Structure 1
Amino acid sequence: MAQDKVEITVESNDRMQFDTSEIKVEAGQTVVLTLKHVGKLPKAAMGHNWVLLTKGTDINSFGAEASKAAGNDYIPEGTDKVIVATKLIGGGQETTIEFTAPEKGTYDFICSFPGHYAMMKGKFIVE
């Protein structure tokens, strides 16, 4: 029996890394995701967010688009490529979002801070 709610913590650091590259949940579950920045650098220098992209989104083209959206935590205005995203945080901060897991499939998650998505990415697997 699936739990209705799953709590997930993802840590990010000053070396442009998430501490996980794979998250598994079940379709329809309430996901409570906390992003913790365990580094020390400020948001302007080493900000991180956690962005869940729609299926089939090209990470490189999305990342290039996101890099122009500094005023919106590096999430392009009006995009249809983002299911959910945290706000951008700096060292020592954390932020939590709650959302319903999408339909079954494999989705990409990234940090959309400019240049980070090449290393800071992973698979969000909905079973």
Structure 2
Amino acid sequence: MNKKVKISAIVLLGMLAITSCGKKDTTTTESSEINQTEDSESQAEVVSNDLVIEGNDQMQFNKAELRATAGKPITLTLKHVGQIPKEAMGHNLVILQEGTDEAAFAAKAITAKETDYIPASEKVSIIAHTKLLGGGEEDTIQFTIDKKGTYNFLCTFPGHVAMMKGVLIVE
């Protein structure tokens, strides 16, 4: 073989080796995706009453839906995974009774700075709430909801309710 043919063959083999390394075995990927889906579905059936949710410096909860079993104690932990202090980017989590007007509640909360944005006049609308947290802090609360239903939760720090809210589904 002449030198040009050898170099061309080496380059071609090198290119084939590089491009084939990135190829995935779709059979293995598909079967593991099916197994993960089946595992997720079976895990969804087993509802834990130990709940963890995070709030960040971008005014977001990492979950918009939580699930728990009715009649059993619920342990909920709120973690503020950001770095900004609570005076500028405080987060709490307030679980409201079914039927509570979320917007009206949030409007009253804005004026309740002295009670960490938990309006005293609305205590009957609140099932449970965490304390107001700054970056790096967390709070764990325990409560029980006996009635199955969908309960709204939100952060009552001024302006946060627009982005920081979700539902607790009690089954």
Question: TM-score, normalization: structure 1?
Answer: 0.94
In structure 2, what residue type is equivalent to 1:117? V
For residues 1-50 of structure 1, the C-alpha deviation after alignment (integer angstroms, 9 at most, x for no partner) is x88x7211100000000000001111111111110000000000000001
In structure 1, what residue type is equivalent to 2:131? K
**Helix, strand or coil: the match of 1:125?**
strand
For the pair shown, the structure with the greater C-alpha radius of gyration is: 2
Flag structure 1 segments of 5+ consecutive residues without an equivalent. Answer: none
4+ aligned runs moved over 6 Å, structure 1: none
The aligned counterpart of 2:102 is 59
d(CA) in 2 for partners of 1:102, 1:120: 25
In structure 1, what residue type is equivalent to 2:66? I
**Helix, strand or coil: the match of 1:49?**
coil
The 5 A counterparts of 1:81-92 are 81-92=125-136
In structure 2, what residue type is equivalent to 1:43? K
The 5 A counterparts of 1:33-112 are 33-79=76-122, 80-112=124-156
Number of matched residues?
Answer: 125
In structure 2, what residue type is equivalent to 1:61? A
Is 1:22–2:87 an aligned residue pair?
A: no
d(CA) in 1 for partners of 2:105, 2:49: 28
Aligned-pair Cα RMSD in Å: 1.4
d(CA) in 2 for partners of 1:75, 1:49: 9
Deviation at 1:59, TM superposition (A): 1.2
Which is helix-richer, 1 or 2? 2
The aligned counterpart of 1:121 is 165
Higher RCO, 1 vs 2 (CA within 8 Å, ≥6 residues apart): 1
